[in-house]
Amino acid sequence: MPIAQAEFGRTGHQSTRVVFGGASLAQVDQRTADQTLDVLLEYGVNHLDVASEYGDAEVRIRPWLQREPGRFFLATKGDERTAAGARDELHRSLDRMGVDHVDLWQLHALADPIEWDIALSPGGALEAAIEAREQGLIRWIGVTGHGAQIAATHRRSLERFDFDSVLLPYNYVTMQNPYYAENFNALADTCQQRQVAVQTIKSIALRPWSGREHTADTWYEPLQGQDDIDLAVWWALGRPGTFLCSTGDTRLLPKVLDAAARFSAAPPDEGLATLAARTAAEPLFV
């Protein structure tokens, strides 16, 4: 069953409401990556999101782009903060993926105040992004980040520049932080008014590993049961106009996609509160 689509901000592209999170390909071999592509095609996923720092992810999707030309909205991210560094990083990403342009290039993990100021000031990464857009190397410019402060930081970023997309955490436990929820809701309102795409991450995050044995290829401990993943994914997709980036573990990806394909309506908050209590969920960011 294909996953529903929605217009991705002002781009005009009808993206599946689940965007493939390329961090899951960081450490896998090409065979595993190609098996992952088959899963994505089964559910009709048409939007890929990778990053220069995701290990070999950009290399792993290169055969996909050759095998399925024109099928995917292609997004990647850069971590360099200066214009010179960002230019080099973007060209390296294009070379690794074997393409002459990407649809969306994002300033990655832009949260630190000093890095934020460097990246968005003259001579910063944003300058390189605008230049690359003028050259046809990228079509749209976005910004991403983590942490309890990031919704507020993204609001500042949108005051500094008219980004085409934002990406940040969104799940039930995170939204119990009043400060985060207030800024997330205000950010979402601004994005709706300005047709800025909102991408959400960490939908199935359960808690930090905190010394426990890692049983998944994610930097946080994820929910793993299908029923639990259903509730978390449905709650995240229940916010209209947003997109959910899939988990950083290829083994959990089919469960996330299956949940999304069966989505019809958001479950009540009471169900998520019960899930959080039963699983001893903890916020990733404080």
Domains observed in the chain: 5-279 (3.20.20.100)
Q: Read off the pLDDT of each residue in 260-264 and give the average, rounded to a whole number.
A: 98
Tokens of 228: 């639990």
Strand, coil or helix: what is 21? strand
Q: Is 9 exposed, middle or buried (0-12, 13-18, 19+ CB in 10 A)?
A: buried
Tokens of 142: 């976005």
Length of the chain: 286
Q: Angle at Cα 253 formed by Cα 210 and Cα 78, nearest 5°?
A: 75
pLDDT in tens, 146-195: 999 999 999 999 999 999 999 999 999 999 999 999 999 999 999 999 99
pLDDT in tens, 220-231: 999 999 999 999
Residue 104 pairs with which residues in a beta bridge? 75, 140
pTM: 0.98
Note the maximum CA span of the chain. 52
pLDDT in tens, 57-93: 999 999 999 999 999 999 999 999 999 999 999 999 9
Residue 16 pairs with which residues in a beta bridge? 5
Q: Is 111 exposed, middle or buried (0-12, 13-18, 19+ CB in 10 A)?
A: middle
Q: Read off the pLDDT of each residue in 225-244 and give the average, rounded to a whole number.
A: 98
The mean of the pLDDT values for the chain is 97
Report pLDDT for 227. 98
